[in-house]
Amino acid sequence: MDLQLTGSRVLVTGGTRGIGRAIVEAFVDEGAVVEFCARDAGEIEETEKGLAARAGRASGVRLDVRDGPALTGWVEEAAGRLGGLDAVVANVSAIAVPDTEENWYTSFEVDLMHTVRLVRSALPHLEASGRGSIVAISSVSGREADFASGPYGTMKTALVGYLSGLALQLAPRGVRANVVSPGNTYFENGFWQGAETGSPDLFTMALGLNPTGRMGTPEEMAKAVVFLSSPVSSFTTGTNLVVDGALTRGIQL
């Protein structure tokens, strides 16, 4: 299927590891032009080199998304470099699971407010595109109560509510807003690889809950994001697409 993304101008926050890196790769493979941000300059350089031979083009900027002025400045500068924006993906998460006061503030600033600031900054460009798309990465922990139901899960729930409201408000303006909620996703240096050795009981419990007998891959999550971001999904907005291998049991009505 042609996702009609050739030449599309895309921003992705957190594009050097895990799901974010896979999202950047998937967009580039569809012929999109992508700018991503990350905090580590070495990881940015490695990602740029790793994607140089693919169909589209990707470049990175060193940025901490907690810095609101820097984030909004990046959006404006990237839109200028790209000649506009067609899609943005709010991927960065603090993954601040323990229930501490510091983690509540961190999750609010990183998971929720970076998404709000990204959307506000990008919105004029997405409207001008005529096919603008916003996708935020939530989690199954935002859909049902589990071990991460403190600051992490609460902010992931808030993202679903925020994007649902955006979908209603922005539909008349030609901009779509959707959420992808990954299930447990295993990748190198990720949360679940760390838990496999650092918290083996948690890892075994989480793995055992999934009827597929495995965790997801970043590539599986990225394909959902890119599909929802594409013009092929032109009538899909306000959706929370759960990609979890039937991990969660709740029925979405």
User: Is it the case that residue 195 has pLDDT exceeding 90?
Assistant: no
The whole-number pLDDT of residue 154 equals: 97
- pLDDT category at 250 given cuts 50, 70, 90 is confident
Residue 251 lies in a domain: no
Catalytic residue among 133, 138, 181, 229: 138
pTM value is: 0.95
Please indicate whether residue 139 is annotated as part of the active site: yes
Residue 36 lies in a domain: yes
Active site residue 138: yes
Q: Is 19 part of a structural domain of the chain? A: yes
Per-residue pLDDT tens digits for 210-249: 999 999 999 999 999 999 999 999 999 999 999 999 999 8
Q: How confident is the model at residue 161 (pLDDT cuts 50, 70, 90)?
A: very high
Q: Is 164 one of the annotated active-site residues of the chain?
A: no
Answer whether residue 118 is part of any domain: yes
Share of the chain above pLDDT 90, in %: 90
pLDDT digits (tens, 9 = 90+) for 15-47: 999 999 999 999 999 999 999 999 999 999 999
Read off the tokens for 182: 């990954």
Residue 224 lies in a domain: yes
Q: Of 121, 129, 133, 139, which one is the catalytic site residue?
A: 139
Residue 147 has a pLDDT of 86
Q: Are 6 and 205 in contact (CB under 8 A)?
A: no
Residue among 93, 152, 162, 186 flagged as catalytic: 152
- At 55, the pLDDT band (50, 70, 90 cuts) reads confident
| Res. 8 pLDDT band, cuts 50 70 90 | very high
In a domain, 85, yes or no: yes
224: phi then psi, degrees, rounded to nearest 5: -65, -40
* Residues 42, 62: Cα–Cα separation, whole Å: 10
Set 8, 156, 162, 233: catalytic member: 156
- Kind plus residue range of the DSSP H or E element containing 88: strand 87-90
Task: Name the nearest CA neighbour of 37 among 58, 6, 51.
Answer: 58
- The whole domain housing 74 covers 9-243
Residue 107 a catalytic site member: no
pLDDT at 109 over 80: yes
Q: What is the CATH number of the domain that holds 75?
A: 3.40.50.720
Residue 3 lies in a domain: no
Structural domain contains residue 252:
no
Number of structural domains in the chain = 1
Q: What is the DSSP string of 2-24?
A: --S-TT-EEEEES-SSHHHHHHH
